[in-house]
C-alpha cells in the first residue's frame, strides 16, 4: 500500500519520520573514518639522548668511585652533553606538548656533573688522609725493615 496515495476515508496520508541512527547522513557513504595524526614533537629525540647521556655519566661517575675517580674524566663530558641535549630538547618541544623526558635529561645531566666533580675530590681527600696516617707510616716502616731480612 502506497503511503502517499489518498486514503479511502478521506484522511491525509501519514508520513513516517525518517529512522534515526540507521542510515548515515547523506554524502558520507563509503568514506573511511578519519583519524587524527599524532602531533610531532621535534625535541623528543634530543630529550631521550640527553637522558641516556646523563644516565651514562652518572654510571661512569659511580664507577669512578671504585677506580679512585679516574672514570670521572669521561663522566663529566657525558653529563654536560646530556644536560645540553635536555635543554635543547626542552626548547624544541612545542607549547602544550609533554616535556617530562627533557626535564629528566636536564636533572640527570646536572646530577651527573655534580657526582663527576665530587667523587675525584672525595677520592683525593681520602687518599691524602690515608697517606698522612701515622699508623700507616709505622706499618710501611715496619715492612721496609722486614725486607732486609
Structural domains counted in the chain? 1
Q: Are the CB atoms for 121 and 144 separated by under 8 Å? A: no
Please give the average per-residue pLDDT across 51-57, as a whole number.
Answer: 95
User: According to the model, what pLDDT value does residue 81 have?
Assistant: 96
Backbone angles phi, psi at 41, to 5 degrees: -115, 100
Q: Is residue 58 included in any domain, yes or no?
A: yes
- Contact yes or no for 46/85 (Cβ under 8 A): yes
Whether the full predicted model's pTM is greater than 0.85, yes or no, is no
- Whether 28 has a pLDDT exceeding 70, the answer reads no
Q: In sequence order, which ranges of the chain are alpha helices (DSSP H)?
A: 44-66, 72-92, 100-131, 134-147
**pLDDT surpasses 80 at 66:** no
- Residue 51 inside a domain? The answer is yes
CA-based R_g, the chain, Å: 37
Asked if residues 89 and 101 have their Cβ atoms less than 8 Å apart, the reply is yes
Per-residue confidence (pLDDT) for residue 58, from 0 to 100: 92
Confidence of residue 76 (pLDDT cuts 50, 70, 90): very high
Per residue in 78-128, pLDDT (tens digit) is: 999 999 999 999 998 888 888 899 999 999 999 999 998 888 888 888 888
Q: What is the pLDDT of residue 131?
A: 82
pLDDT (0 to 100) of residue 133 = 84
Q: Is residue 5 part of a domain?
A: no
In a domain, 124, yes or no: yes
Boundaries of domain holding 57: 44-133
Amino acid at each position: 500500500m502506497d503511503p502517499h496515495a489518498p486514503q479511502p476515508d478521506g484522511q491525509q496520508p501519514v508520513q513516517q519520520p525518517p529512522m534515526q541512527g540507521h542510515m548515515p547522513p547523506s554524502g558520507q557513504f563509503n568514506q573511511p573514518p578519519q583519524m587524527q595524526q599524532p602531533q610531532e614533537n621535534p625535541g623528543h629525540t634530543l630529550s631521550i639522548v640527553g637522558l641516556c647521556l646523563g644516565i651514562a655519566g652518572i654510571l661512569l661517575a659511580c664507577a669512578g668511585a671504585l677506580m679512585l675517580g679516574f672514570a670521572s674524566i669521561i663522566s663529566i663530558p657525558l653529563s654536560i652533553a646530556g644536560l645540553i641535549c635536555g635543554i635543547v630538547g626542552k626548547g624544541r618541544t612545542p607549547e602544550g606538548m609533554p616535556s617530562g623526558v627533557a626535564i629528566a635529561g636536564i636533572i640527570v645531566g646536572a646530577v651527573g656533573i655534580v657526582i663527576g666533580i665530587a667523587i675525584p675530590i672525595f677520592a683525593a681527600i681520602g687518599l691524602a688522609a690515608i697517606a698522612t696516617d701515622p699508623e700507616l707510616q709505622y706499618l710501611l716502616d715496619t715492612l721496609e725493615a722486614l725486607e732486609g731480612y
